[in-house]
Structure 1
Amino acid sequence: MTLDQFRPLANRLLDPWVRAAKTVGATPNTVSVAAFGLAVVAAAAFYVGTPAAYAVGAVCVFFNGWLDLLDGALAREVGTASEAGDLLDHVLDRYADVVVVTGAAAGVDAFGLGLAAVTGVLLTSYLGTQAQAVGLDRVYGGLLGRADRLALVGVTAGVAAITPTVAGYSPVVALLVVFAVVGHLTAIQRFVSAWRQLA
């Protein structure tokens, strides 16, 4: 079960944010860029790796995820949803994933683990959109979708802000292990699901 199944509820909660964005004249593309900017700040905070920095990173990751939902909802509301906007959103999401995971890995000096984690994250997202490219519906589910990853990053950063170790282990290192292992398992799960529909 992943958090992506709660997308309809999140969309309803977004209504006041959509109205506010329309009021200030924000466009979906500017919201996408702002979301990416928050991911960069989060990555820098994770690299610094102090308790205060982790707290800042947790907040930035939360708002990155929220704005990532807002850009699509705003585009639908104002009637500007387009393939170009969808492309920009997905490209910035992938770069956000890369910078956040890289910042977290650099902050704990775990570059090899970070590489395994970021490839798991990227392949999960790739398999989700590749299914659409071959004529199936875009896949959001699986063991570890993007909403789940953002939630885990935010919670982990919050824990790291309180204590650098849990039971003798760094919560950030544990997060990277989860992304490395479960990310690749999710990619495989999405591949198998798409393959069965096409075979």
Structure 2
Amino acid sequence: MTLDRYRSVADRLLGPWVTAAAKLGLSPDQVSVVAFGITVAGGGAFAVGTAAFYAAGAACVLLNGWLDLVDAALARRLDVASDGGDLLDHVLDRYADIAIIAGFTAGVDAYALGFLAVTGVLMTSYMGTQIQAVGIGREYGGLLGRADRLALMGVVGLVAAVYPAPIVAGYSVVDLLLALFAAVGHLTAVQRFLGAWRDL
């Protein structure tokens, strides 16, 4: 994971957003739901697969990533962090991952690759929580964290808006992103499993 290292920098930029959410009377859970709705819209835009919709989808994904930080910062500001809020956030994050990858998959008609990508991403997250469930502690190790994935999806959406044609061996930038998620996702899941197995 690379972008997670800069979370403290992002936290310093969140102030105006957190203040605005608090003034609007939004709870952290409500911010999470709004972020999820934006992501579903982004997945739908990617599924259309045209330049304008790729750009719109990229904006939605990047906004989702930012709001995902806002809800946590708002919970700290209001001192209302809870297990229920954490559960909701994780569940919506997983559904958001599915929506975005499904949108990319439909947009390039690469369903086998999309299946491998979404299962890789979900298994990465599952291994993290399952390791926690057996008492070892939450595992965040791996090559691509969620922040990294969101950034990549946003950038790829923007690139696809400008150049949707195949770039390598008949594969578009979206195809290559799905292949990356498939390979790295399953590799990370295995890496987390082996690390946890050694710690048991």
TM tier, shorter chain? over 0.9
1:192 deviation in Å? Answer: 2.2
For 1:13 and 1:133, the matched residues in 2 are separated by 33
Instruction: Give the equivalent residue in structure 2 for 1:7.
Output: 7
Instruction: Give the equivalent residue in structure 1 for 2:113.
Output: 113
> Is residue 123 of structure 2 the alignment partner of residue 101 of structure 1?
no
Which TM-score applies when normalising by structure 1? 0.95
1:108 deviation in Å? Answer: 0.6
Instruction: Give the equivalent residue in structure 2 for 1:91.
Output: 91
For 2:19 and 2:198, the matched residues in 1 are separated by 42
Identity of aligned residues (%): 64
Instruction: Give the equivalent residue in structure 1 for 2:193.
Output: 191
Deviations 1:78-117 (A, max 9, x none): 0111111111111110000011101110111111111100
For 2:181 and 2:68, the matched residues in 1 are separated by 20
Which TM-score applies when normalising by structure 2? 0.94
Instruction: Give the equivalent residue in structure 2 for 1:176.
Output: 178
For 1:137 and 1:34, the matched residues in 2 are separated by 29
Instruction: Give the equivalent residue in structure 2 for 1:53.
Output: 53
For 2:56 and 2:64, the matched residues in 1 are separated by 12
Letter in 1 for 2:101: V
Flag structure 2 segments of 5+ consecutive residues without an equivalent. Answer: none
Is the contact between residue 160 and residue 171 of structure 1 (CA under 8 Å) also seen in structure 2? Answer: yes
1:140 deviation in Å? Answer: 2.3
Instruction: Give the equivalent residue in structure 2 for 1:126.
Output: 126
For 1:144 and 1:187, the matched residues in 2 are separated by 11
1:141 deviation in Å? Answer: 2.9
Matched pairs, number: 198
Letter in 2 for 1:64: N
Question: Aligned-pair RMSD on alpha carbons?
Answer: 1.3
